Amino acid sequence: MLRALFALVMLSVVAACSGAKDLDQPPVPLGDFRLEHNIVLAESAQRGPLSRPATEEQLTASVKDAVTARFGRYEGTSRYHFGISVEGYVLAQPGIPLVLAPKSALILNVTVWDDAAGKKLNDEPEQITVLETFGTAPIIGTGYTMTAEEQLTELSENAAKAIERFLVRQQNEEGWFAPDAQNASPVAAEGATAPPT
């Protein structure tokens, strides 16, 4: 399945909005939400065709940093945890301008845990696929204009923004992060429990 997805990504002209451009603005409302544990794993990440390499440590650190930057701004009293696995990536190499300009991509699975309830909010992981930001290099591709580290940073920021959109949708449709009268008082961070990996 990932191989077919990678093939679509390599040919895709769909692009993403810049994931970090709104970090200097107030965070999008997410109800009574605070991110406690931000667990990112990349031990099974598949490198897509024609991709530059990235280590497991680079993948996990980049995604973790981007998620912390976006969700560390929330100061609700109810604690939630993210379990994120990096499933695959493409860090585009230089292509042939106007003929083949490969797109960088990142594929994640995301699970959200409710600390108070001690269970997952989504039984099945949400798969998120993001591409490089539109306008970075629309003709020649980022393989010519960015290092692998810069590509990964941009993809991670776009992924964090996509996770935010997923959470907003779930809040609107499923009532996630609504305040619980029994757990409305501030809680100490040291009592938090990490979700199983």
The residue length of the chain stands at: 197
Strands 79-90 and 119-120: unpaired
Higher pLDDT, residue 185 or 149: 149
Q: What pLDDT, on a 0 to 100 scale, did the predictor assign at position 194?
A: 52
Instruction: Give 70-123 pLDDT, tens digit per residue.
Output: 999 999 999 999 999 999 999 988 764 544 566 899 999 999 999 999 999 999
Alpha carbons 27 and 7: distance in angstroms, whole number: 34
Mean pLDDT on 52-74:
97
Task: Return the structure tokens found at 119.
Answer: 């269970």
What is the pTM assigned to this prediction?
0.81
Compute the distance between CA of residue 1 and CA of residue 182 in angstroms, rounded to an integer: 43
Contacts of 30 (CB under 8 A, 6+ apart): 74, 76, 164, 167, 168, 171, 177
Closest to 164 measured CA to CA, from 78, 74, 94, 104: 74
Is the pLDDT at 137 greater than 80? The verdict is no
Residue 98 CA to residue 103 CA, distance in Å, equals 13
The per-residue pLDDT for 101 is 61
* Amino acid letter, residue 116: A
Digit-coded pLDDT (tens) for 16-43: 456 678 999 999 999 999 999 999 999 9
Q: What is the pLDDT of residue 112?
A: 98
d(CA 180, CA 109): 27
For the four alpha carbons of 148, 3, 70 and 43, in that order, the dihedral sign comes to negative
